[in-house]
Amino acid sequence: MRDVMKVKICASIWVLWFVLTTGHTQGIHAYNGADKDTGTIKHFFENGRFYGHVRSYNSATVNQKDLSNYYAWGLGGGIGYETPVFLRHFQLGLSGFFILNIASSNLAKADAQTGQVNRYEIGLFDIEHPDYRKDLNRLEELFLKTRFGKKSVLTVGRQIPQSPFINPQDGRMSPTLIEGAVLDINEGKHWKLHGEYLWRISPRSTVRWMDIGESIGMYPTGVDMTGKPSQYKNQVQSDYVGILGATYQTKNWNVQLWDTYMDNVINTAFVKIEWQSTPAGGRNWMAGAQVIRQNAVGNGGNTDPMKAYTQPGSGALVFSGRIGKRSPKFDWFLNATRITSEGRYLMPREWGREPFYTFLPRERNEGFGDLTAATLNTFYKLQKNIKVEVSGGYFRLPDAKNVALNKYGMPGYSQINLGITYQFEDRLKGLSALLLVVRKDEQSNTYNNYRYIFNKVNMTHFNFILNYLY
């Protein structure tokens, strides 16, 4: 399978190169012009857009004494191409990406104290084959765009997701991707409409394309409502995901309404309202509020409750808010989130990160109910190309043994993130560097059980990432 994908990617890139460099082709009527060469295939492809991405990612996790530590260095690169518009309305695009494991600890080896495996570094490569050391390849994009109206677009095929709950979550080597039909209607002055029908997903940290149900459970699955290991991996019966979104945008207001329907599993409604003051001297205030309502759909994914993703009749309710101020040198945001005790907030971690205002990179609050979180984000712009982030938060979770509201046995915790971003200039324009250090500490009872600690709390996580976009 890997060899087949490698051949597909190499063949696609070779075909593009051949077309671009061969002048002995017959013309096509894609352009109007007096030059005799403007009707050739070569001229047509020369007016398209090449883009690419190279990433180097160093990651290391230092756990509490007596527990395993890990490190990894991944290197990857990709190239993509999008044709110019032809036949007045259409565009084609494709891209591929490869990943190399330059160096790493044994990511398939379980920790001796807990029997658990690596959590963070494994995500740089293929979580399905953590001991695979050769190059990984994935054909990421392959789509046809149809443009109509003033700015509206219908895109069919493999593409990058852009919705609140299914998104690239690009915190590793390559992002989550979707296959489906995506419609963006941008004809109004203030309104935008968005619709998606998805039939396949390729989660981050994998190289395969999967049916909707198969893609749920690739990441750790936690425990079910009885405290036993969840059994829904490869058991979820769901054929598609449908998404509807509407955005209203003015100078001071942004209102978004979204509904994400997972066939036979769960429906998630999302409302976000944000306000910002009119800038004065480059400074402005902002405030935002979110409400998320979930309800189980059908049988929750399987007629056998032990193999279902969620239980029929279950649901969850989430509130999240923010207030902050932006300025030329310093931004700050104070955030809060409340997941009520009605039930667990659920969303496949394979598909994207949560949109809560309290989200801090390298941890999530999916799988929990009765959660209260408060965070503070600060961003300081030392220079136009240097940005420093210091963010911290307190997350009060239900007891780690409360399996009904704590899917992953996570204790309450505090988290501090330090991030430094540097944007290179001149000849290195397009290159950026990020140093991210994450510290998490327990804030509730762990019952002297390392399984509630390992890769969860009392740990420091390091990331050094180089990105080059062209």
pLDDT digits (tens, 9 = 90+) for 271-300: 999 999 999 999 999 999 999 999 999 999
Q: Show the tokens assigned to 425.
A: 């200039």
Summarize the confidence of residues 83-105 as an average pLDDT: 96
Sign of torsion, CA 26 32 37 43? negative
For 419, residues 6+ apart whose C-beta sits below 8 A from its C-beta are: 388, 389, 390, 391, 434, 435, 436, 437
- Contact between 306 and 299 under an 8 Å Cβ cutoff? The reply is no
Q: What would you report as the CA-atom Rg of the chain, rounded to the nearest whole angstrom?
A: 23
pLDDT band for position 171 (50/70/90)?
confident
pLDDT in tens, 306-338: 999 999 999 999 999 999 999 999 999 999 999
pLDDT band for position 166 (50/70/90)?
very high
Q: Show the tokens assigned to 74.
A: 């991944």
Model's pTM, two decimal places? 0.90
Nearest to 107 by CA among 170, 172, 169: 172
E strand spans, 115-211: 136-148, 152-159, 177-185, 191-202, 210-211
Integer Cα distance of 138 and 121 in angstroms: 19
For the cut 60, the answer to whether the pLDDT of residue 254 exceeds it is yes
Summarize the confidence of residues 38-60 as an average pLDDT: 91
Nearest to 147 by CA among 200, 215, 93: 93
DSSP letter string, 77-129: EEEEEEPPPBTTTEEEEEEEEEEEEEEE--TTSPPTTT----SSGGGGS-TT-
Most confident of 30-34, 128-132, 162-166: 162-166
For the structural domain made of 48-469, what CATH number should be given?
2.40.160.10
Q: Are strands 431-442 and 152-159 parallel, antiparallel or unpaired?
A: unpaired
What's the confidence (pLDDT) of residue 255? 98
pLDDT band for position 17 (50/70/90)?
very low
What's the confidence (pLDDT) of residue 170? 78
Choice among 229-233, 279-283, 406-410 with the minimum mean pLDDT: 279-283
What's the confidence (pLDDT) of residue 14? 42
What's the confidence (pLDDT) of residue 16? 42
pLDDT band for position 462 (50/70/90)?
very high
What's the confidence (pLDDT) of residue 41? 85
For the cut 70, the answer to whether the pLDDT of residue 26 exceeds it is no
Query: What is the percent of the chain with per-residue pLDDT over 90, rounded to a whole number?
Result: 87
Summarize the confidence of residues 187-214 as an average pLDDT: 97
Query: What is the percent of the chain with per-residue pLDDT over 70, rounded to a whole number?
Result: 92
pLDDT in tens, 57-91: 999 999 999 999 999 999 999 999 999 999 999 99
What's the confidence (pLDDT) of residue 36? 52
Mean pLDDT over each residue of the chain, to the nearest integer: 92
Segments of the chain assigned to CATH 2.40.160.10: 48-469
Summarize the confidence of residues 185-190 as an average pLDDT: 95
Choice among 26-30, 206-210, 262-266 with the minimum mean pLDDT: 26-30
Integer Cα distance of 335 and 372 in angstroms: 11
Summarize the confidence of residues 25-45 as an average pLDDT: 59
Nearest to 344 by CA among 298, 295, 307: 295
What's the confidence (pLDDT) of residue 1? 47
What's the confidence (pLDDT) of residue 245? 98
Summarize the confidence of residues 95-103 as an average pLDDT: 96
Integer Cα distance of 18 and 41 in angstroms: 11
